[in-house]
Amino acid sequence: MEFTAHGERIVVSLPEGAYLRMGRDAVELLRSLDGTRSSEEVAVAWSARLGSLKSAELLQHFTRLNLLETAAPAAGERRLTRPNPVTIQLTLYRPHRLTGALAALGVIAGHRSSRLLYALLLAGGACATATRLPDMARSLLDPSPGMWWHILLAMIAVNICHEFGHATAVAALGGHPRRMGIALLYYVCPAFFCDVSSSWRLPRGARVVVALAGVLVNAGMAALSALAAAADVAGHSEFWWRMVLANLFTVTINLIPFLRLDGYLLLLAFVDEPFVRPRAMADARSWLSHHIWRRSPQPRQFARRWSVPYGLLAIVCPALLISFMLLALAPLLFSFGWPGTVIWTLATLLALARLADGILRVARPAAPASAGRPEPTA
């Protein structure tokens, strides 16, 4: 956090990009939030200066602002939130009571013998896949009537396990998974999420582990499914090959650093700066506006040599992903008749509206402004 004097008030710049104006007493208390004491210990220390009632109120206020990490959810925390204008997050489960169990599971998973077994599993799955590539391709290219339902159910199971992988990693490394749920209209499709914002107070190496935990679960599930397909478990090898493909697809998409997914969180951990993607996209829009519309170039928001190329790819990749998802979902939605056609049409119109908005933002770039929303961490 950074503190800047502004008259009788002090402007506090938080790591996730938000800004708060506070009195000097509140700032002194905020400085004491160093992550080494529990909320009860903080309340006792503050009571000596402010009294028990005032310190409890201030502690609760700071907790609601996510300035204090707590295992339990803050009072009054809403289930339905809007992190951006087109995405709605619905909290389905708060795993704070499972933090201890998840931490224990993470410790077991990080043991040397567990890592060795995992490596053997990946090697076995890779061998099974390499020797049965025609069978895997046939499961996709020669589908049975229920193929789309199999893929849909497989992806739901895959993504739930993926998010629990993140929750386990952050709990094992000393953080608290705050909430889990589903994000609606996230790159057109619904997607599960796990809030691991507490990982920001962990070292960079730990944040890398948290970001990779989900795809490590997917890789393990892909290997296990490949072995089950090769052995024709329960006589349903076609289904198991689809599980392999679903997991490989999830790993590939999540590791793309130009989307707000796990690959981007990896990039944030390596760069160790907040808001890399929005700042680079702002630089790319300014570059496009200058070269296409001859607008005056804006000052760089992300001072790296690769800011503009990265920003351009961050602008293009979501459009490509959304187009792919619309094409892939069309057969499934059209099979529902007119309701599915209406849903697909509305999703397409929303995508086109977002594309038009992006073109206008290039033609009329806004002046640089301080970030007001927290960095994506789920």
% of the chain residues with pLDDT over 90: 26
> What mean pLDDT is predicted for residues 9-21?
53
> Which of 96, 105, 97, 94 lies closest to 172 in space, CA to CA?
105
Q: For the residues of 137-164, what is the DSSP string, one character each? A: HHHHHS--TTHHHHHHHHHHHHHHHHHH
Place of tokens 């087109």: 86
User: What's the sign of the alpha-carbon dihedral 318, 18, 82, 183?
Assistant: positive
- Structural tokens at position 233: 């478990």
Tell me, what's the pLDDT at 71? 52
Which of 106-115, 231-240, 319-328, 365-374 has the lowest average pLDDT? 365-374
% of the chain residues with pLDDT over 70: 77
SS3 332: helix
- Structural tokens at position 137: 């391709």
> CA 174 → CA 86, 160, 204, 206, 315, distances in Å?
33, 22, 13, 9, 35
Confidence band of 303 (pLDDT split at 50, 70, 90): confident
What letter would DSSP give residue 86? T
Tell me, what's the pLDDT at 201? 75
Place of tokens 């809030």: 195
Instruction: Name the average pLDDT for the chain.
Output: 80
Tell me, what's the pLDDT at 252? 93
- Structural tokens at position 119: 């490596």
Cβ atoms of 319 and 355 closer than 8 Å: yes
Tell me, what's the pLDDT at 373? 41
Q: What is the pLDDT of residues 59-112, one digit of tens each?
A: 777 766 656 655 555 555 677 877 666 678 888 888 877 888 999 999 999 999
pLDDT surpassing 90 at residue 46: no
Q: For the residues of 185-244, what is the DSSP string, one character each? A: EETTEEEEEE--GGGGGS-HHHHHHHHHHHHHHHHHHHHHHHHHHHTTGGG-HHHHHHHH
Predicted TM-score of the model (pTM): 0.74
> Which of 328, 357, 329 lies closest to 343 in space, CA to CA?
329
Q: What one-letter code names the amino acid at 49?
A: R
> Which of 191, 189, 185 lies closest to 162 in space, CA to CA?
191
